[in-house]
Amino acid sequence: MFFRIIVVFVKKNLNIVTLMRYAIISDIHSNLEALRTALDHIGTLDVDEIVCLGDIVGYGPNPNECIELVTMHCSKTIKGNHDQAAVDLMQTVYMNRLAREAAMWTNKQLIPGAKDFLAHLPSKASIENAVLVHASPFEPEEWHYIMTGLDADIAFDYFDTPVCFIGHTHRAGEFVSQINGNHGNEKRIINVGSIGQPRDKDPKLSFGIFDTGTLAYENVRISYPIQKTVDKMHTAGLPSELAERLFYGL
Ligand code: ZN
């Protein structure tokens, strides 16, 4: 712990690239209960910084509050397709009915400062040994889904670091490249899963912990008060299908 504090101090003051431990969160989707639970838990872990891979808003009932927490806690934040749609309703033509309804509801709720923040988020960023995108390193703003090994094979050509972190599908998992069977050159695409709307049949919120020195990665899953979020969604008049799915992780 003491050593890590010195390393971070040296890094911040001398701009030397060195060991860092990151919490990587994604797809919060205006679920304040899930985000607060995740941040509280991250506070108990040995983590230097938190980064966010986008989709702060969309689907859930607390867009402004989630944006405020992200701006307070995350050192880097990437734009997601729902962040973009919430400030540019033209983008909702690419969405299904439920996502579109939620985007239009979100657009009405957002305070000017929050809209401005979402509109100016970058589509890509990097940390030591890893690149950060919302959907795919291949055409990041086209929001390609990486669901299969075939999808991942295309994406491996579009980053040069050992690891690329993604969200977007709301399914935690990892793809490893096979470059001539040589594991010395392998790259990894790691999906950290979703804080606010997991879809891998596990309703627990999901995020990742990454060590830029050892490249070690760990997926963390924890419970949060789902009923509270669901009650707020009903009160807000958001589509009930979007609320019920949270209980099942779908
Ligand atoms: Zn999402």
Q: Residue 130 maps to which CATH number?
A: 3.60.21.10
pLDDT of residue 32: 98
pLDDT of residue 178: 77
Residues 61-86 pLDDT 10s: 999 999 999 999 999 999 999 999 99
Domain that holds residue 230: 22-247
Q: Which residues, by Cβ under 5 Å, contact ligand 1, an ion?
A: 27, 55
Q: What is the mean pLDDT of residues 43-72?
A: 98
Give the rounded percent of residues in the chain with a pLDDT score beyond 70.
Answer: 90
In a domain, 12, yes or no: no
Q: What is the mean pLDDT of residues 14-38?
A: 89
In a domain, 17, yes or no: no
CA distances from 19 to 96, 144, 190, 212 (A): 42, 31, 19, 6
Q: How many domains does the chain have?
A: 1
Name residue, tokens 């911040």. 12
In a domain, 5, yes or no: no
Cα of 200 vs centre of ligand 1, distance in Å, is 13
Claim: this prediction has a pTM higher than 0.75? yes
Strand-pairing partners, residue 191, are 166, 173
Q: What is the mean pLDDT of residues 42-55?
A: 97
Residues 192-230 pLDDT 10s: 999 999 999 999 999 999 999 999 999 999 999 999 999
Residues 101-123 pLDDT 10s: 999 999 999 999 999 999 999 99
Cα of 55 vs centre of ligand 1, distance in Å, is 5
pLDDT of residue 16: 56
- Say yes or no to pLDDT of 13 above 70: no
In a domain, 239, yes or no: yes
In a domain, 226, yes or no: yes
Residues 149-190 pLDDT 10s: 999 999 999 999 999 999 999 999 999 997 654 556 799 999
Name residue, tokens 């985000």. 35
Q: For the chain, how many residues are written? A: 250
Question: What six digits make up the tokens of 27?
Answer: 């797809």
Confidence band for 11, pLDDT divided at 50, 70 and 90:
low
pLDDT of residue 18: 67
Cα of 84 vs centre of ligand 1, distance in Å, is 11
Residue 167 burial class via C-beta count within 10 angstroms: exposed 0-12, middle 13-18, buried 19 and up: buried
- Strand ranges (E), 79-186: 124-127, 130-133, 163-166, 173-176
Cα of 169 vs centre of ligand 1, distance in Å, is 7
Q: What is the mean pLDDT of residues 44-59?
A: 97
pLDDT of residue 201: 96
In a domain, 13, yes or no: no
- Say yes or no to pLDDT of 249 above 90: yes
- Say yes or no to pLDDT of 50 above 60: yes
In a domain, 134, yes or no: yes
In a domain, 30, yes or no: yes
Cα of 250 vs centre of ligand 1, distance in Å, is 12
